[in-house]
């Protein structure tokens, strides 16, 4: 479902060539990852989240870091997702780590729908010389696991799959204390403008550029989140819509239309925000006044300086509800074990 690179969070660079290859992913799912059909697997590790399990496997290859350090990182990523959604999205998920000789860092991730009894399967390529510091900077693992928490959509709506993962990943990591709220809003300030429609844009369903796919989709999510919270006096947010979609079976191993998913999301918040926004954004270039939005949310910055929060801003409470400096949530019940 995704092929992000290991660029910094703010860049979230993706290779356009890989986006072109994306439509073949569901077909590949029938046969397993294309270039690792018969990898040698070390004994599996199971990370448990209530009744749901993430099985972590290491393909053959050398890694400088001990397995425990890498497993702790995977556990933190999965805990962020489980905390945001209130559960690990699928009953049985599998994550395969594929060491890459001579390289360093989390290099790339891809997630497929169900395979061999698992409803979701993520493959992460990890460099042999990856350090704990590089693991600390990795957003790819969380991003990939978020993909399991939404149905597989037609190609025209791929922007929603990527936009959602781009938007939810840092917010989920704030909730478990992995990221600071200021860092998340800084990345949004610098990232969201890459999602704005350029000249000639035909709307999200018909403009499949990298910027519109990842950040255009994330912008849709941010605007929807703020609007749901405005209309419900901050009692409901996008998170409630997304949890309802997962609860009603909207996970990666099911193929839905986007209308189906958004209707469930709207029912959960008692609004029509998602369906109305989609009707407007799908085939037209909708401009968002980002500067006005940041001002209303109470987000200020100077060139190269840190983000400052304005407590008296009209939407300051909504900003904090999305990603704030309040006390962090307790990670969802995550008990790890090795078999």
Q: Which of 35, 331, 305, 280 is nearest to 186 (CA)?
A: 305
For tokens 């191993």, what's the residue?
253
Q: How far is the CB of 277 from Zn ion (least distance, A)?
A: 21
Q: Least Å distance between CB 7 and Zn ion?
A: 13
Nearer to Zn ion, 162 or 205 (CB): 162
Q: Which token pair is 125?
A: 């390529």
Taking the least distance from each CB to Zn ion, the nearer of 251 and 271 is 251
Query: 292 — phi, psi (to 5°)?
Result: -65, -40
Instruction: Please identify, using beta-carbon distances, which residue of 162 and 178 lies nearer to Zn ion.
Output: 162
Contact range with Zn ion by CB under 5 A, out of 61-69, 154-162, 300-308, 314-322? 154-162
Query: Residues touching Zn ion: how many (CB under 5 A)?
Result: 3
Q: Where are the alpha helices (DSSP H) in 193-281?
A: 210, 217-231, 238-247, 258-269, 273-281
Question: CB under 5 A: which stretch of 160-168, 180-188, 296-304, 321-329 binds Zn ion?
Answer: 160-168
Give whichever of 218 and 228 is closer to Zn ion, judged by the CB atom: 218
- Closest by Cα among 166, 171, 196 to 184: 171
Cα–Cα distance, 93 to 105 (Å, whole number): 23
Q: Which of residues 142 and 336 has its CB atom nearest to Zn ion in the complex? A: 142
Nearer to Zn ion, 192 or 297 (CB): 192
Q: Are 42 and 334 in contact (CB under 8 A)?
A: no
State yes or no: residue 189 binds Zn ion (CB under 5 A): no
List 2, 95, 107, 322, residue binding Zn ion (CB under 5 A): 2
- Tell the smallest beta-carbon distance from residue 6 to Zn ion (Å): 13
Which x/- pattern over 194-223 shows residues binding Zn ion (rule: CB under 5 A)?
Answer: ------------------------------
In the bound state with Zn ion, the residue whose beta carbon lies nearer, of 5 and 260, is 5
> What is the closest distance, in whole angstroms, from the C-beta atom of residue 171 to Zn ion in the complex?
15
> What span, in angstroms and rounded, lies between the C-alpha atoms of 271 and 227?
9
- Strand 118-127 with 106-115, pairing: antiparallel
Which residue has its beta carbon closest to Zn ion? 2
Q: Which stretch binds Zn ion (CB under 5 A): 157-165, 170-178, 286-294, 305-313?
A: 157-165
**Cα Rg of the chain (Å, integer):** 19
Stretch of 77-85, 155-163, 169-177, 306-314 lying at the interface with Zn ion (CB under 5 A): 155-163
Q: Are 305 and 299 in contact (CB under 8 A)?
A: no
Three-state secondary structure call for residue 240: helix
Nearest approach, Cβ of residue 143 and Zn ion (Å): 5
Minimum CB–partner distance for residue 140 and Zn ion (Å): 9
Q: Which residues contact 39 (CB under 8 A, 6 or more apart)?
A: 59, 60, 96, 98
| CB of residue 147 to Zn ion, shortest distance in Å | 6
CB contact set of 158 (below 8 Å; sequence gap of 6+): 19, 22, 208, 213
CA-CA distances (angstroms) from residue 244 to 8, 47, 116, 155? 31, 24, 26, 23
* 222: three-class secondary structure by DSSP: helix
Our CB check for Zn ion shows the closer of 106 and 165 to be 165
Closer CB to Zn ion, 168 or 238, in the complex: 168
Chosen residue from 65, 165, 175, 224 binding Zn ion by CB under 5 A? 165
CB of residue 10 to Zn ion, shortest distance in Å: 16
Considering only residues 30 to 69 of the shown chain, the ones binding Zn ion according to CB under 5 A are none
Interacting residues toward Zn ion by CB under 5 A: 2, 162, 165
């Amino acid at each position: 479902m995704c092929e992000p690179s290991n660029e910094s969070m703010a860049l979230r660079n993706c290779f356009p060539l890989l986006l072109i290859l994306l439509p073949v992913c569901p077909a590949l799912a029938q046969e397993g990852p294309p270039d690792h059909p018969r990898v040698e697997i070390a004994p599996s590790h199971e990370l448990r989240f209530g009744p749901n399990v993430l099985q972590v496997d290491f393909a053959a290859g050398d890694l400088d870091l001990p397995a425990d350090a890498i497993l702790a990182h995977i556990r933190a990523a999965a805990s962020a997702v489980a905390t945001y959604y209130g559960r690990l999205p699928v009953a049985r998920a599998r994550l395969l780590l594929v060491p890459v000789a001579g390289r360093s860092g989390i290099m790339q991730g891809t997630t497929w729908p169900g395979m061999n009894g698992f409803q979701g399967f993520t493959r992460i390529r990890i460099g042999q010389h990856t350090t704990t510091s590089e693991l600390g900077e990795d957003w790819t693992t969380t991003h990939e696991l978020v993909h399991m928490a939404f149905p597989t959509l037609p190609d025209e709506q791929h922007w929603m799959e990527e936009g959602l993962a781009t938007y939810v990943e840092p917010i989920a990591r704030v909730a478990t204390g992995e990221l600071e709220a200021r860092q998340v809003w800084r990345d949004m300030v610098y990232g969201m403008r890459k999602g704005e429609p350029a000249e000639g844009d035909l709307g999200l369903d018909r403009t499949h550029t990298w910027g519109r796919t990842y950040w255009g989709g994330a912008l849709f999510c941010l605007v929807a989140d703020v609007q749901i919270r405005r209309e419900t006096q901050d009692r409901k947010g996008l998170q409630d819509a997304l949890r309802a979609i997962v609860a009603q079976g909207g996970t990666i191993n099911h193929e839905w239309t986007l209308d189906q998913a958004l209707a469930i999301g709207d029912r959960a918040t008692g609004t029509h925000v998602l369906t109305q926004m989609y009707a407007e954004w799908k085939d037209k270039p909708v401009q968002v006044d980002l500067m006005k939005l940041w001002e209303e949310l109470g987000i200020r910055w100077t060139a190269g300086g840190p983000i400052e929060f304005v407590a008296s801003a009209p939407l300051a409470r909504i900003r904090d509800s999305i990603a704030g400096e309040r006390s962090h949530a307790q990670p969802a019940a995550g008990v790890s074990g090795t078999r």
